[in-house]
Amino acid sequence: MAVQALKRIDEFRVEIPDTYVPGMKVPGMIYLDAALGAGLEEKAIRQVANVAMLPGIVRVSLAMPDIHMGYGFAIGGVAAFGMEDGVISPGGVGYDINCGVRLLRSNLNAETLGPKLRELLAVLYRDIPSGVGSKGKLRLEPGELEKVMSEGARWAVKKGMGSLTDLERTESGGAMEGADPSLVSLRARERGRSQIGSLGSGNHFIEIQKVAEIYDEQAARKLGFFKGQVTVMIHTGSRGFGHQVCTDFLEVMERAIKKYGISLPDRELACAPVNSKEARDYLGAMRSAANYAWANRHAIMHWTREAFMKMMGMGPVDLGMELVYDVAHNVAKIEEHVMNGRKMKLAVHRKGATRAFPPGHPDLPAIYQETGQPVLVPGDMGRASFVLLGTQKAMEETWGSTCHGAGRMLSRHEAMRRARGRSIDKELEARGIIVMSAGRHTLAEEMPEAYKDISNVVDVVHGAGLSRKVVKLEPMGVVKG
């Protein structure tokens, strides 16, 4: 089916009619402007349409402007399902469960940090394991992994890493309730035991940034930002632990679709009814993996703070390196939303999409009740990242969701081909960005032109009212997996 079959609703939205393919229960909606629409993959469109065929889907199958083809669901996909007739699908969460981002602000000015930047990056690269198969510095005692799965970032705080204030500024308080470690396989445990406190590979990173532009002075002040300020963004997830949990339950769901007689347009959408044992078991294991990811990012944040204090010769008060927020990208949550004028619980899947709750939402901490939820949108290592705020319109249109990043434009294979013979690290350094990486392959796969222009993506969600821009962050130095 051609892209031309889509119907443009306005400057920032295109509709996939419910007649796009037979069997769609609801229409699809993709948030993108004309420029991003020119590169839209037909396979990604079809994935949005396929999700619209799942049992119990409510109102619309959504995709954010960073959409690209994924496993089952398109990356950037958002869908909500009724609790009585809907389903839970691991493909709507993805392999890297709770891949997410946390942002630290500081009292430092970029000019002050400049002379020590390269040495600081070397310390971060040395002290925080990265790369394929990397193992963390922490070795979990027997029984400790259970605590990580149950307590998430709270476990890290109990171990002396960070504070209770950090937990308040983390989505779900750093731990999803309802985690059930007993449902996690031995293989997942084996992979997770040695990887806590490690960055991993691919698009995961630690990035030292500076506040380059402020769009909303009042909101920026409330969030603690000032022009030229040093910030640190950490992007990673549940590593091989979450990957194995997803792998294990895709097999469970393959059996479930036969058991419950569910007809699917794509077996990658394997699922089970929300109230089935299979769905409940997956959610228990998925929450365990999500908690693992929060503990992982929390440990990395702790060592990042230590590296800054050591290199700058500053104590924690003078450094002022505080957590702004931590957001999850790949999770399914049972949430309360308004449908046809009444509140109801829905199973919301966000895959490569960020929660964007508005001011006054009960799930937000007191510090963000007035502003709305901080939305953290990382770019590629050569272009900007953004901080936005959640809006009421997002609650009304997208189940309180917005974009999660730039979104790939080139496959990893194509990026490698185009990078052949080039030194991506030297190209970035010529632009004033220092990069340290575990391998040249990663830099090639993750080079800036492999991604959409993050500024364009963010302009779409801002223009559509799904989240509003507060500050722009430019990279100074990056540690890549």
Q: Cα dihedral sign for 104, 109, 110, 114?
A: negative
* Residue 65 tokens, joined: 């402007």
Q: Which of 298, 404, 413, 441 is catalytic?
A: 404
Which of 146, 195, 154 lies closest to 175 in space, CA to CA?
154
Active site residue 462: no
CA–CA dist 100, 198 (Å, integer): 14
- Alpha-carbon distance of 265 to 49, in angstroms, equals 10
Cβ count within 10 A of residue 126: 11
Residue labelled with tokens 């997002």: 394
Residues 18, 24, 27, 30: is their CA dihedral positive or negative?
negative
Spatial distance between the Cα atoms of 149 and 167, rounded to a whole number of angstroms: 16
For 311-328, give one letter per residue: b (16+ CB within 10 A) or e.
Answer: bbebeeeebebbbbbbbb
Tallying the residues shown for the chain, one arrives at: 481
Q: Tokens 């790369």 label which residue? A: 131
> Where is 139: in which H helix or E strand?
none
Residues forming a β-bridge with 229? 109
Place of tokens 């434009």: 409
398 by DSSP, 3-state: which? Answer: coil
Give the span between the Cα atoms of 66 and 196, in whole angstroms.
Answer: 29
Query: For residues 278 and 285, is the Cβ–Cβ distance under 8 A?
Result: no
Which of 395, 459, 449, 388 lies closest to 424 in space, CA to CA?
A: 449
Q: Please return the burial class of 87, using the count of CB atoms within 10 Å of its CB with bins 0-12, 13-18 and 19+.
A: buried
Residues 6+ apart with CB under 8 A from 207: 232, 233, 235, 378, 381, 385, 475, 477, 478, 479
Task: Tell me the CA end-to-end span of the chain in Å, nearest whole number.
Answer: 38
Q: Using CA atoms, how far apart are residues 481 and 478, in angstroms rounded to an integer?
A: 10
DSSP character at residue 228: T
State the number of CA atoms in the 13 A half-sphere of 274 facing the CB: 20
Residues recognised as catalytic = 404
